[in-house]
Each structure stands twice: as structure tokens, then as C-alpha cells.
């Protein structure tokens, strides 16, 4: 059985009083972030303030990039088999450049939201 790291034990508690409206809002935000209430609060503590919109954009982008990666692997396999023309390869390269530009724009926006400098 794997031993737990004592540094990760959550031994501290905090009690906060909220209105019913505030509690519901917190529950909704945690649900949108796909995490528990405690997980959402820890996320807020560990990171700079990130709006749900930014978080959702990153999640959606990663999902799409993963799907595109799968398609690129299939296309690369077919291209190696000689199924595509030069025109098709050029169009795929242009699409990859557009995707890269979109990812770079989102990364820049996130750096602005988080108040950090791009590396």
C-alpha cells in the first residue's frame, strides 16, 4: 500500500459564513470548473484569479487540440502511404499555422489575465 505524504494532509479547517446566494454561486462555479467545493477553493488559493471564461477556453482548447492531434496522426499515416497531393499537404500546413496562432493568442491573453510575463 502506498504511503501518504504527510505534507499533503489537509489538517487545517476554516469556517466561513455565506448567504444562501453566495453559497449557490460558489457551488455553481465549482461545478463549472468540474471540481468539488474544496477543490475549487484550493484552486482559487493556489492560482491568480482566473475567470471561468478563461478556464473554460483553456479546457475547450486542450480538448480540441487533442482531437486535432489524433487527426494529424491519421493524416500523417495516409500521407506517408501516398494518399494526399501536394495541395492537400499545403492546406494542412496552413491550418496548422492557424491553430498555432490561435494557441499563441490565447496564451498571451492568459498571461495578461494572470498578470505574469510570457516566457
66 and 114 inside one domain? yes
**Cell numbers of 31, please?**
461545478
Residue range(s) defining the domain that contains residue 28:
17-46
Residues 48-62, mean pLDDT to the nearest whole number = 69
Model pLDDT for residues 63-116, shown as the tens digit of each residue = 888 888 788 788 878 878 888 887 887 888 788 888 888 878 877 776 665 554
Last residue of a domain, one of 46, 67, 84: 46
For the chain, give the mean pLDDT: 78
Longest dimension (CA), the chain: 66
- Count Cβ atoms within 10 A of the Cβ of residue 4 and give its class: 0-12 exposed, 13-18 middle, 19 or more buried: exposed
Q: Cα(41)–Cα(13) distance, rounded to whole angstroms?
A: 12
36 and 80 inside one domain? no
58 and 111 inside one domain? yes
Q: Band of the pLDDT at 54, cuts 50, 70, 90?
A: low
Amino acid at each position: 500500500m502506498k504511503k501518504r505524504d504527510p505534507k499533503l494532509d489537509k489538517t487545517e479547517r476554516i469556517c466561513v459564513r455565506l448567504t444562501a446566494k453566495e453559497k449557490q454561486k460558489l457551488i455553481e462555479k465549482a461545478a463549472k470548473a468540474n471540481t468539488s467545493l474544496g477543490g475549487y477553493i484550493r484552486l482559487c488559493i493556489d492560482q491568480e484569479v482566473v475567470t471561468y471564461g478563461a478556464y473554460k477556453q483553456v479546457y475547450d482548447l486542450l480538448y480540441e487540440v487533442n482531437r486535432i492531434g489524433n487527426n494529424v496522426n491519421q493524416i500523417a499515416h495516409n500521407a506517408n502511404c501516398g494518399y494526399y497531393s501536394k495541395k492537400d499537404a499545403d492546406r494542412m500546413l496552413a491550418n496548422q499555422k492557424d491553430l498555432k496562432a490561435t494557441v499563441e493568442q490565447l496564451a498571451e491573453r492568459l498571461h495578461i489575465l494572470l498578470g505574469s510575463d510570457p516566457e
